[in-house]
Amino acid sequence: MITENLPALQVVLPLLGAPLCLLLGRGRGAWLLTTLIAWIGLAISLTLAWLVKDGEVIRYAFGDWPAPWGIELVVDRLSAYVLLMVSLIAALVIPYARRSVEREIPPEQQTLVFTLLLLCLAGLLGMTITGDAFNLFVLLEVSSLSTYALISLGKDRRALTAAYQYLIMGTIGATFFIIGVGLLYMMTGTLNMADLAQRIDPLEHSRTLRTAFAFITVGLALKLAMFPLHLWLPNAYTFAPSVVTAFLAATATKVALYAMIRFIYTVFGGGFSFTAMHLEWLLLPFAAAGVLIASVAAVFQQDVKRLLAYSSVAQIGYMMLGLGMASLTGLTASLLHIFNHAMMKGALFLALGAIIYRIGSSDLDELAGIARQMPLTMAAFVIGGLSLIGVPLTVGFLSKWYLILAAMERGWWPLVVLVLISSLIAVVYIWRVVESAYFRERPSGALVVSEAPISLLAPTWILVLANLYFGIDSSLTTGFGGAAARTLFGAG
């Protein structure tokens, strides 16, 4: 009974939890409820992943209305993989959130943070699990609207303009996406993704179909912050509260990328996307430019949060690079990096959040010498940074290894060089933080602080250890990612 309804519960629990959270009001109740829901969500994702690990596909007709009329939830290996990533990050970030939110948000707004986090989580999980194109739009907007509000809770007044800018760009992206879906509906009369895929096949030469493809790709590219549509991202990540930044950086853009992969491979089909539309000629140049330019921009940042935000834009470039290679290895690299980047950026932003918790700033100069007072937190940051660079034994190495393999398979040597160069640039910007934190004296008159509390350290270190664990034993990530990529190629 419960097992049958797991796909629905995955989305419905956080969605129902959000208003309950608001009713619980001030105090710890809201946080406890949110933590409970996040952990139950993780258990559900693990169960779902277990159920589909051999390639079964769970199709759940919402409200018993059979597809293609009703809304269908679909759990296959790809969606189970992304669900697992999102729920894992939520289950770690939310326990961390209590102390950090107490420090950064005024008491009367603290309940709102948890309510909005749950709404955002529901939207992201829903986007991943749904098998209906219009439903995806609605859940995309559920997650985006809560994200705009979350960003605006930042202390600095620039958080407001960042949230506003993101609202405008995000809404344009989402509206482009529904224009595309509308055009598809016009051609096929269906919104169910599996049904769409079948009916699109004979329409390959229709101009409306091509227009729909263009609108959907550009709309989602805005949401996932593909260079040069990333302009909303650095400000949003810099001025949002630390917890929100960690959660968004690890999940939101990746789920939008997942939606894009779904449309490219499952709905339109790899053949149409790459052979007829030559999507690679859009993705590759922008991805390559993004990797390079955003990495260089990261080097020149004074604020560590903004530095990591630019590095996120570069990392999204890696994912697009893998996608743009249109090969099995490339897609595997891309899927692998979705999961791995969530772990490394999650760890880095959580470690940074712990520093902000103590010293109230993420400015590079104010971080000077902090490693002597917060050794464990900085050690976590360093390992996260090594993973970002791609040092062996960390997950970052694996993603880059697959990416380089994919480029060599195609014989695209300039891309191999590009990945290596951008990794070297990552060394430079991570080193700037390390240099400041380890090799400089504390500024005179700076607060003497102690190590971050355990409730901040524990989630950070769990993610750091996950970086190392999955870097050594990658059977789960490569197994799931690889299998999902093969399924997409088999279907496309």
From the list 16, 22, 47, 164, which residue makes contact with another protein (rule: CB under 8 A)?
A: 164
Between the alpha carbon of residue 436 and those of residues 212, 307, 383, 485, the distances in Å are 49, 14, 16, 41
141 lies in the binding site for another protein (CB under 8 A): yes
157 lies in the binding site for another protein (CB under 8 A): yes
168 lies in the binding site for another protein (CB under 8 A): yes
Q: Which tokens hold the place of 88?
A: 């894992």
417 lies in the binding site for another protein (CB under 8 A): no
User: Smaller CB distance to another protein: residue 163 or 456?
Assistant: 163
* Torsion over CA: 417, 423, 429, 431 (sign): negative
Alpha-carbon span 31 to 35, nearest angstrom: 6
User: Smaller CB distance to another protein: residue 175 or 361?
Assistant: 175
155 lies in the binding site for another protein (CB under 8 A): no
Angle subtended by helix axes 107-129 and 77-104, to nearest 10: 170
354 φ, ψ (degrees, to nearest 5): -65, -35
**At its nearest, how many Å lie between another protein and the CB of residue 169?**
9
109 lies in the binding site for another protein (CB under 8 A): no
Piece in contact with another protein (CB under 8 A), picked from 164-172, 216-224, 259-267, 473-481: 164-172
Q: Give Cα 243 to chain centroid, integer Å.
A: 14
Residue 190 belongs to what H/E stretch?
none
CB distance 291 to 400 below 8 Å:
no
**At its nearest, how many Å lie between another protein and the CB of residue 175?**
6
User: Smaller CB distance to another protein: residue 234 or 492?
Assistant: 234
138 lies in the binding site for another protein (CB under 8 A): yes
Piece in contact with another protein (CB under 8 A), picked from 130-138, 220-228, 254-262, 378-386: 130-138
217 lies in the binding site for another protein (CB under 8 A): no
152 lies in the binding site for another protein (CB under 8 A): yes
Bridge partners of 59, per DSSP, are 74
AA letter at 164:
Y
CA-based nearest residue to 240, from 120, 342, 384: 120
User: Smaller CB distance to another protein: residue 179 or 391?
Assistant: 179
**At its nearest, how many Å lie between another protein and the CB of residue 137?**
8
Residues 6+ apart with CB under 8 A from 356: 100, 104, 242, 362
From the list 26, 28, 155, 158, which residue makes contact with another protein (rule: CB under 8 A)?
A: 158
Piece in contact with another protein (CB under 8 A), picked from 159-167, 256-264, 308-316, 319-327: 159-167
**At its nearest, how many Å lie between another protein and the CB of residue 157?**
4
Alpha-carbon span 297 to 35, nearest angstrom: 36
User: Smaller CB distance to another protein: residue 145 or 244?
Assistant: 145
Residues 6+ apart with CB under 8 A from 271: 492
206 lies in the binding site for another protein (CB under 8 A): no
Residues 6+ apart with CB under 8 A from 195: 67, 68, 188
Binding-site string for another protein from residue 176 to residue 205, where x marks contact by CB under 8 A and - marks none: --xx--x--xx----x--------------
CB distance 402 to 336 below 8 Å:
yes
**At its nearest, how many Å lie between another protein and the CB of residue 141?**
5
Positions touching another protein (CB under 8 A) are 134, 137-138, 141, 145, 148-149, 152, 157-158, 160-161, 163-164, 167-168, 171-172, 175, 178-179, 182, 185-186, 191
